[in-house]
Amino acid sequence: MKEPPQTPKKRKREPGILCLSPYFSPEKRQKSQVAGPNCKDEALLAVELEPGEAAPSTDPLSLFYARSTTALYEELKLLKPILIQEQVAGDKWKVFVACTLLNKTSGKLALPVFWDMMRRWPTAWKMSQAKEEDLVYMLLRLGTYTIRARRLIALSREYIKDPPSLYDDRPSRPSTPVRSVKGKQFARYPATPVSHLPGAGPYALDSYRIFCTLADDPFSTEWKQVLPSDKELIKYLRWKWAVEEHREWCPVNGPGPSPSLSYLRTLQADLSQQGGQTPVTIGTTPSAAKLTSSTA
């Protein structure tokens, strides 16, 4: 007769040092699996949580929304509006020249003239010595050529005589109506180092505050205070607020809440059209290739 199987005896643990796993340490971040192995979104497979932070919801609708938002952000990064002001932001004189040409003129017409001017008069000194009739001839296709030619020469001379300094803000002349308040109330533009230059209107000052301040200081937040009226600057700031700050934005009230899925889709559709921008390639100018224009 066979003996019944005996239950194996438990092994005695050998004495040793007890080590606490870092997984249970509140000082370390924990990784939590929030989706199954079939989930294709790597960003949702491993999410770093702060101590005491709850894991993201595994609800199918929440996961679908997260994947859709992530995909939209990736597409928006590729739809960044490229404006000439950002390309030449390191030279404030060139930014003002570009704004003078783009004011009430489409970029399709203005940008070729701008790059022709930069080849012939690449510095403020050379343009200050230019003949008015030569500038007029080059500006014929843009309209108001006499006014623009005189303004460009005056701008270049003043830029040499009294160049802008980051430590010397000048009072701004233009003012704009407060669109969110009824009645005849006006908001003054803040003082800037370029406010004394000829042509320092709302469009040029907005361009300076958005692009040049970042060129001077990558950590500058001056661009967040700008509420422009130009449609291309508005489009650029809507993109920048959505992609870099994850906030909605409008030119009247400024930044808003986190962008909704419908807001991101609308922004994607607007940027995909790129109605006011036209690629321009001028001769062999390296920086001019693959540039798109803006309208004032």
* Active-site residue set: 230
Longest dimension (CA), the chain: 122
- Give the containing element (helix H, strand E) for 235: helix 231-240
The residues facing 176 across adjacent strands are 187
CA separation, residue 131 to residues 22, 80, 95, 138, 154 (Å): 74, 38, 21, 11, 12
Residue type, 42: E
- Give the containing element (helix H, strand E) for 58: none
Report yes or no: 232 and 276 within 8 Å, Cβ to Cβ: yes
Q: What is the dihedral of CA 50, 52, 53, 54, to 10 degrees?
A: 140
Residue whose pair of structure tokens reads 């930069």 in the numeric block: 118
Residue type, 269: A
Please count the other Cβ atoms lying within 10 Å of the Cβ belonging to residue 225: 11
What 3 state SS string does 243-256 have? HHHCCCEECCCEEC
Residue of 237, 232, 197, 234 whose CA lies nearest to 221: 237
Residue whose pair of structure tokens reads 């004032």 in the numeric block: 296
